[in-house]
Structure 1
């Protein structure tokens, strides 16, 4: 079923040059764009300290999620769908394993961190972009659907761990906000 859904999502790849360019662009600049959006939150005027805490939490969740992925890669070696003949690849092949998707981890860690800080408008805007990045990774042929879902889960786990351990108005948080 995973291969079937992945093949279905990737089915339009290579048929519409403009759509291909958009999806490749989203895949390549989506994560850096989201990181920049989080960085820019530092200078908002409204609810400044809470938003700064959310931005720091998002950064920590991002890093923790990617660290979790590296641990998973020690044990899970899944070949890319284009190597298995499931998808048509639109970009250069990747040298690492397919599961989990680092793009999905990074984007969903950011979204989950903002969601856990009760910032709904920011969460919605970031969530739309994160879903587009995740979809693009399947569309361009680099990941299976479950690779993206697995990456999303590790990003959310990273955000939950950060939420439980890194508290707003703690000494560490106040120090980090003052230093940065």
Structure 2
């Protein structure tokens, strides 16, 4: 499995440096993909279509996002995987990162958004899923993650989404209070 991970990572990263336009696009997506997704989620707070349900999903998304990133920080205490560029496996297009490689915070954040929307049956989840796939691909493309890092981040997101779904229930007193704000 390790050999496949390295081969897949190097295959994706091998495309970098061949097109200035593609490099710039992937660097841009890697840098602002997650913030744009967050804005896409936050901007829906004031939609009038199925307002309570939409707001519940938005709050659940934020909770899954934060829980997933918190779990990543715990994992990082125990898993000290070097970045692929530190192992001489990839060509790095962006600044070096100070933390370890596994799991990918970008993957966790973007998949937490997409998977929450999909789990709650929101069709916009497919748009967020496409964005999450592009963001995670960009992280391998720019040389900062292994493929398994982004898969690990997606798994962390899935666990967080399922946990939030089990704990934060729709139409409870606290949910009505939170979704009634503004």
Q: TM-score range by the shorter chain?
A: over 0.9
Once the two structures are superposed, residues 6-39 of structure 1 have per-residue CA deviations (whole angstroms, 9 ceiling, x without a partner) of 0000001111110000000001010000000000
2:105 and 2:25 map into 1 onto residues whose CA distance is 20
Q: Which residue of 1 aligns with 2:5?
A: 2
1:178 and 1:142 map into 2 onto residues whose CA distance is 41
The offset of 1:43, in angstroms, is 1.2
Q: Which residue of 2 aligns with 1:156?
A: 158
Query: SS state of the match for residue 83, structure 1?
Result: coil
Q: Which residue of 2 aligns with 1:24?
A: 27
- Find 1:67's aligned residue among 55, 66, 70: 70
1:101 and 1:141 map into 2 onto residues whose CA distance is 12
Aligned residues: 179
1:175 and 1:48 map into 2 onto residues whose CA distance is 13
Segments of structure 1 that go 5 or more residues without pairing to the other structure are: none
2:181 and 2:44 map into 1 onto residues whose CA distance is 16
Moved more, 140-149 or 36-45: 36-45
- Find 1:44's aligned residue among 40, 44, 47: 47
Is 1:134 the counterpart of 2:143? The answer is no
- Find 1:54's aligned residue among 52, 57, 72: 57
Question: Please, what is the CA RMSD of the aligned residues?
Answer: 0.7
Correspondences of 1:113-124 after superposition (within 5 Å):
113-120=116-123, 122-124=124-126
Segments of structure 2 that go 5 or more residues without pairing to the other structure are: none
The offset of 1:127, in angstroms, is 0.6
Once the two structures are superposed, residues 89-120 of structure 1 have per-residue CA deviations (whole angstroms, 9 ceiling, x without a partner) of 00010010000000000000011111111112
Q: Which residue of 2 aligns with 1:82?
A: 85
The offset of 1:179, in angstroms, is 3.0
The offset of 1:139, in angstroms, is 0.3
| Over 6 Å off, 4+ runs | none
Q: Which residue of 1 aligns with 2:99?
A: 96
Q: Which residue of 1 aligns with 2:115?
A: 112
